[in-house]
Structure 1
């Protein structure tokens, strides 16, 4: 089962990761969900697919009151990102979902209506969470053509979606990166094939290198901390992407 782990706390400001599940079926890709909370309101990032909704919901209930979730943030349109939307809307029909304007007519196939979705323009927007302001950071073509990260400038945490994702061996369940070289070796093939544009990659690297990031939290794999964040950005900037894995 998935479990919620506290990765940041400063007063009433917290981040929990709903971490990888070693007991998941082998036919499912593993995912990380993040719950950002500030003064009794929360945003859930990339809540995952239908198959894992019960596990994600139970993990959240162990850490926070799910009724405090005031919004969902979807980095892009993939089913492992947002296909559980209909179940979240059964829990709270008024729950808004932030996502790229590009997917406004696609994601409703998973659930919701015209009142559910908040369109993020290509340049990104500020997303309020009580008295905290989060920033939707453009990450287009990495890998989706309408793709965003989410940055918390107070916690100095970047939710990076598929950027930084590593499909680690089934028995490696560390929440944080322990061996940088081993993790990026596992990430290399994924990034070469799934990240579609070298120009977009370099633009993203330049953009996020200007942010103060203590943790970079991908949707798959382990969390980068401290100097490993800069190491990853430098590694990624030099990696040729948009090619078949060989």
Structure 2
């Protein structure tokens, strides 16, 4: 069953957190359904492990064939490996993905399935209409992919942050919001030190998101951040050394 993040006057945000077969070794991942009146969008629909359960779970809340948009923060398999099946199930939906990945995503599908249905998001981001509302694609390049976007919903004031804000939990635990980073959630520090490219981009990101009213930061893996945890997280990543900051000559040595 999905976890309801927001619902007000025909606008709803639902999170599916337990669809992957964690027992089979797959990392826990969240998928999101945004509904505005009679139009819907899915964010980071996931791989084939999640497809069937997500499709069936969605039908209880919204007809999948009325989706207008499939949004991909980047092009990793846990983001859109199920794209071929979604292209069949949602005949009118467009896929929104970075222009850097626009010509790579057809590799997930049978020949011709994505023709005319992929919208490249320019590096500076864009506004994507969803019914009578919109989602804002925010630049999040190198966090962790080269062409990377987060999606901000102005009505719910939720920032769907992709791989930023990740913690390691079970699908059930992911439904319980983190309200404080003291203590630091499991796996969060190690993940960000490895998967974020540099402190430089994190500082740019922190400056950008401080301009937005944010009630919740919801990553693709792990639990949402809410309350005091939002500002704590922004301040923490703003000063975090990560990625290439930590590399030395020893990191590039020929194995013995």
- Scaled by the length of structure 1, what TM-score is found? 0.92
Alignment-derived partner of residue 23 in structure 2:
25
Q: CA RMSD in A?
A: 1.8
Distance 2:157 2:213 in 1: 6
Gaps of 5+ in 1: none
Q: Which has more radius of gyration?
A: 2
Q: 1:65-96 CA deviation, whole Å, 9 max, x = no partner?
A: 22331110000010000010001112123321
CA contact (8 A) 2:179 2:229 kept: no
Q: 1:158-199 CA deviation, whole Å, 9 max, x = no partner?
A: 000000011226774443115533454521101000001221
Comparing 128-137 and 62-71, the one that deviates more: 62-71
**2:155 counterpart of 1:141:** no
* Partner SS for 1:76: coil
CA contact (8 A) 2:170 2:222 kept: no
Comparing 54-63 and 102-111, the one that deviates more: 54-63
* Partner SS for 2:156: coil
Please list, as runs of the form range in 1=range in 2, the aligned pairs for 1:204-219 lying within 5 A after superposition. Answer: 204-219=205-220
Structure 1 pair 60/207, CA: closer, same or farther in 2 (3 Å)? Answer: same
Q: What's the offset of the Cα at 1:218?
A: 0.4
**2:82 counterpart of 1:81:** no
Alignment-derived partner of residue 90 in structure 2:
92
Gaps of 5+ in 2: 248-256
Please list, as runs of the form range in 1=range in 2, the aligned pairs for 1:46-195 lying within 5 A after superposition. Answer: 46-111=44-109, 112-168=113-169, 172-177=173-178, 180-195=181-196
**2:198 counterpart of 1:197:** yes
Structure 1 pair 72/224, CA: closer, same or farther in 2 (3 Å)? Answer: same
Comparing 89-98 and 4-13, the one that deviates more: 89-98
CA contact (8 A) 1:19 1:175 kept: no
CA contact (8 A) 1:18 1:60 kept: no
Distance 1:193 1:84 in 2: 26
Distance 1:72 1:237 in 2: 30
Q: 1:37 aligns with which of 20, 35, 38?
A: 35
Distance 2:231 2:167 in 1: 17
CA contact (8 A) 2:202 2:238 kept: yes
Q: What's the offset of the Cα at 1:219?
A: 0.3
Q: 1:35-92 CA deviation, whole Å, 9 max, x = no partner?
A: 1111111110000001221111122123322233111000001000001000111212
Structure 1 pair 172/10, CA: closer, same or farther in 2 (3 Å)? Answer: closer
Alignment-derived partner of residue 254 in structure 2:
none
CA contact (8 A) 1:4 1:63 kept: no
The size of the alignment, in residue pairs, is 242
Alignment-derived partner of residue 13 in structure 1:
11
